[in-house]
Amino acid sequence: MSHVVIRGIPFATRLRAAKGGAKELLERDRARAQKFLASKSHHAFVAAKAKHASGTGAESSIDVTDSGVTYTMQVGVGSPATDYTLLIDTGSSNTWIGADLPYKPTSTSHNTGNTINVSYGSGSMSGKEYTDTVTLGPDLVIKNQGIGVASSAQGFEGVDGILGVGPVDLTRGTVSNTTDVPTVTDNLYAQGTISSNSLGISYEPSSTANVSNGELTFGGTDSTKYTGTLNTVPLTTTSPASAYWGINQSVSYGTSQTILNTTAGIVDTGTTLLLLATEAFQAYQKATGAVEDSTTGLLTITSAQYAELQSLYFNIGGVTYEFTPNAQIWPRGLNSILGGNEGQIYLIASDLGSNVGSGLDFINGFGWIQRYYTVFDTGNKQLGLATTAYTDADTN
């Protein structure tokens, strides 16, 4: 069976200025990181089960939303379907609607009688669980998908909810009388719609706002979106990174200075910046000569320093991935999103806010994923990475 690709308009990059500019964006990225670090899940990543069993658990708490950069897609629910605009998030796993556009039950809707309650730090949702037909695309129709229908939702302005495509374990304890809730990818695979339980994500760097430049591939990869070899690396067993899409990596500045020895962290679509454990961040700041900008809270460098900026090298599974000087800076055409100055150069690396050895020492966020094709492979418990036409681009 061939995989199915969602192209173009259904997957849009939405850039919006947070009220507090970059400082608010940075605070939310760090708050999200602290939720990850505080995860009580000690489960290593496991392949998803096709169906769930009964049980109870504590509330799940993961922060996902309202950064300055979000990725959304149109998702149909019901038959006939109502389209909802949902955030795509690899750091959470519940799919839910009702933050803005209300749910419209149809003949395919079934109220399970269970309640759902998920806290996202700076936001939250609570409501009822339904099963319903969920349509991601013409060939991606899921029957009896468990979804949350919010009776209360805070922190989700401008969107209707979340499309959670993280590890299924993250749904534990979020729905009453339920052990876990299979994700949309899990169910596409279990129902035979896709041939592998995996999700390929292509982002492209952009210097303009509100562009449709992303692609999701359910059940495979799109070879037109990457160059060279697609490398795979096992997911980490180190907690708490193991509860998410966690891997082991080291980071060097230039070819001779290691700023982060091999350690566990995560790859995450819901984080905007590249976050590094405090010691690694401090080493990076010293090496670059960057100073913290009082307006944005981000590191900033001069044009002369940018001319001397070295690449970062990420060693993942024995393969080295170069993160060029241009990849390390915020798109200068989008400085207004940050509340920053026109023409100023801001770096996207920031302080994770915790020391090395915490079990989650980095987050490779959207700025990193824009440069590498990424495959979230549940079935094989691994992450796939490949260079793209944009890995070395000077778009920023």
DSSP string computed for 30-87: HHHHHHHHT----PPP-PPPSS------PPEE------SEEEEEEEEETTTTEEEEEE
Confidence of residue 119 (pLDDT cuts 50, 70, 90): confident
- SS3 of residue 26 by DSSP: helix
Contact indicator for 67, 24 with CB cutoff of 8 Å = no
Contact indicator for 396, 320 with CB cutoff of 8 Å = no
What is the share, in percent, of the chain residues with pLDDT greater than 70?
85
CA–CA gap between residue 384 and residue 255 (Å, rounded): 24
CA-wise closest residue to 70 among 28, 132, 133, 20: 28
CA–CA gap between residue 278 and residue 281 (Å, rounded): 5
Question: Which of 92-106, 139-153, 194-208 shows the lowest mean pLDDT across its residues?
Answer: 194-208
Model pLDDT, residue 51: 28
The residue assigned the tokens 């200025």 is: 17
Joined together, the tokens standing for residue 62 give: 């993961």
Model pLDDT, residue 152: 96
What is the share, in percent, of the chain residues with pLDDT greater than 90?
64
275-300 tens-digit pLDDT: 999 999 999 999 999 999 999 999 99
Single out the catalytic residue among 268, 293, 351, 377: 268
Contact indicator for 375, 384 with CB cutoff of 8 Å = yes
Model pLDDT, residue 137: 87
Report the pLDDT averaged over residues 226-241.
Answer: 96
- Between residues 72 and 306, which one has the greater pLDDT? 306
Amino acid occupying residue 208: T
247-258 tens-digit pLDDT: 999 999 999 999
373-394 tens-digit pLDDT: 999 999 999 999 999 999 999 9
Model pLDDT, residue 45: 32
DSSP state of 235: P
CA–CA gap between residue 179 and residue 3 (Å, rounded): 29
- Between residues 149 and 335, which one has the greater pLDDT? 149
129-169 tens-digit pLDDT: 999 999 998 889 999 999 999 999 988 878 899 999 999 99
Single out the catalytic residue among 29, 63, 66, 89: 89
- Between residues 310 and 124, which one has the greater pLDDT? 310
Catalytic residue list contains 89: yes
Reported as type and span, the H/E element at residue 145 is strand 140-154
Contact indicator for 129, 116 with CB cutoff of 8 Å = yes
Contact indicator for 160, 102 with CB cutoff of 8 Å = no
What does pTM read for this prediction?
0.87
